[in-house]
Structure 1
Amino acid sequence: MIVGYSYAAENLCPSCTIKAMRASGITVQRGKPHEEAIRKAAEKLGIDFDDEHSYDSGDFPKPVTDQQCETEVTELPDAEPGVRHAISDERCSGTNCGKWLKLGEKSPTEAGLTRWVRDDYELPQALAREIARKLREWGLSHKEFITEDNVRQAAAMFPHDYATVHAEGNPQHIELRRTPEYDDAPCFYCEQPWEKHTFTCITCANHVPADAPHGHEVQVKGQIKFREAKPTT
């Protein structure tokens, strides 16, 4: 299946290929499927489109199939040194395009990726937003190439309330609880234990390690009273 074309030292999506051909003075019929239109243009120029060795891609586009798409390799964060993420697709290099050739579409916007992360992994909006930004920073901008491990790893990098799944008796009755029921119970969002979390203090709004002492003195009816700040539930 043809997903793009190699032309003038670039791999382009069909739309950008036709634009580049016209910019080079090659007439391409409008209103036809890209392969049919490009094949017809080749015939008019006396080019054997089916024999890619008979002409140079600098003169006329050569087809790129889905199996020929080069793998894009993305560096994963420093937390996993030497580990790289392989994406079996590549982007169109046309100006302001960036479509994935095999997928035939662009990556979603940051807002769109945030919505997908939030809904698919049942995450709080604020945490999903931070995760989406981090995934894009790692080069993982399309859901097709994002794994659950990628999302969980990103989640562990940002302060968020701990939550664990509890299903008492009836598996269909699932609820999230803010405190672990046993040692090392993993967080529903990042799979880290409770002690690894950082909460936001409801009094001072600072980020506080879950297992660190933290409190405030507040005035109550003329007396000083110590109140321990606890994570929000």
Structure 2
Amino acid sequence: MSILLATAVHGQIVGAFGTTDSASCTDTTTSNSSVVITADPETGYLVSAGTISAITVVAVSTAVFGVKEYAGSTVQSDDTSRGTLLKDIWEVCTFRPFADLVGLGMLSAFGIVLQEWSAALAVQYGYGLEDQLENLLLAFLGCTVVSIPISALLMTRFGKKAIYAGFTLLGASAAVSAMYISSRLDVLFIVLCLVGFGFSAPIFIPWTMLTDVADDFKIQKGKRRDMLFQTLFQALNSTAMLLASVTSLVTLE
């Protein structure tokens, strides 16, 4: 939801600074029209960045000053083992279920971010729909958000693996079909919605598996490292997203 709202805010601000006004001129001999360009995308991007930064500062300030942190926990635990940080990180990273899950999560994050970049470039340069870029990306992310509770509901009946495979196949098929469609806005809109719908499971399902891995670690090792599992998974997923963004930029160059 936060990514969806950020995209909406960014699109509205950039769109407000990127308008094109047309004016017609007619005399007794000729009739023509001139276009007055009032676009200022650089200012739009700066205003958008400043707005989102201000929202981020407010959110962080709320967390820092509005949440009281307790130094200890009143919950009794039988985990008395306290190793060094590096040893704990190594133990978590070499835990086979976590390694498999991280590989799945990183590949999913890499593919999804790369697809988002590819969709943006295709809309802007391949289909010539630059003025509709923010709206199409908003539809893409909106379908992703809407489909997450749908995939969660289906998981209770068909299981995580089947839903993960089915949604990923849907997203990949729609992404490939985007290379063979016309430049019609309505067709592209439907295809991008299907891509967003299909790529919700690769985002959502690995997170649901993380608690299972942490519980399995507790059973096998006799100790809990939930914070490390969450931190490492998030850090490695962010690394995969960064690599996807760099790959897109290098390819564009």
Q: TM exceeds 0.5?
A: no
TM-score normalised by length of structure 2: 0.22
Structure number with greater Rg is 1
TM-score normalised by length of structure 1: 0.23
| Higher RCO structure (Cα 8 Å, ≥6 apart) | 2
Task: Name whichever structure is richer in helix by fraction.
Answer: 2
